[in-house]
Amino acid sequence: MALGTVDIIEHTHIEYMTPELLFLGKSGQPYRGTVYIHFISEGKSIDLLDLKKYITSLRSCTFMAENIAYEIYSKINMVLEVDTLGVIVDLSARGGIQQRIQFGENFEPAKKQHVFQIP
């Protein structure tokens, strides 16, 4: 599915977060993760309904866990084309090992359960 975009003011710093990533690992085991997306707008952002549908569509897709950040990055980069785009995925532990996968620009994700949470 293609992501739509919306027009917004340039130079706006945008960070999206969802703790509802689910995809299938190579073994068929479902993987859970939290996705952080950050970029500085060059006049466009992603349509959020499309982003939700895209993230949901990954439930039935199989990836190497290490490639999941690149998958999301490349999908967004196809429509935004900003140099500042970065994607971080924190995966739930498997075999006692936690993984953070990052692709594109590095950034420090804001860790909040909800927007009203005091840091």
Partner 1 sequence: MPKMTNSTAYEEKRTSEVTQLGAEKTVYRYEYAPEVLETFENVHPEKDYWVTLNADEFTSLCPITNQPDFATLIINYIPDLRMVESKSLKLYLFSFMNSGEFHEDVVNKIGKDLAVLMSPKYLEVVGLFYPRGNISIHPTFSFHNGEAKYEEIEKYRFMNRNINPQRIG
**Residue ranges binding partner 1 (CB under 8 A):** 19-20, 22, 24, 27-30, 32, 56, 59, 92
Q: How far is the CB of 56 from partner 1 (least distance, A)?
A: 6
CA dist., res. 37 & res. 46, Å (int)? 11
Q: How far is the CB of 42 from partner 1 (least distance, A)?
A: 31
- Residues 6 or more apart whose Cβ sits within 8 Å of residue 51: 3, 16
CA dist., res. 81 & res. 69, Å (int)? 16
Give the Cβ contact number of residue 67 at 10 Å: 13
Helix ranges (DSSP H) in 6-113: 48-57, 68-80
CA dist., res. 3 & res. 50, Å (int)? 5
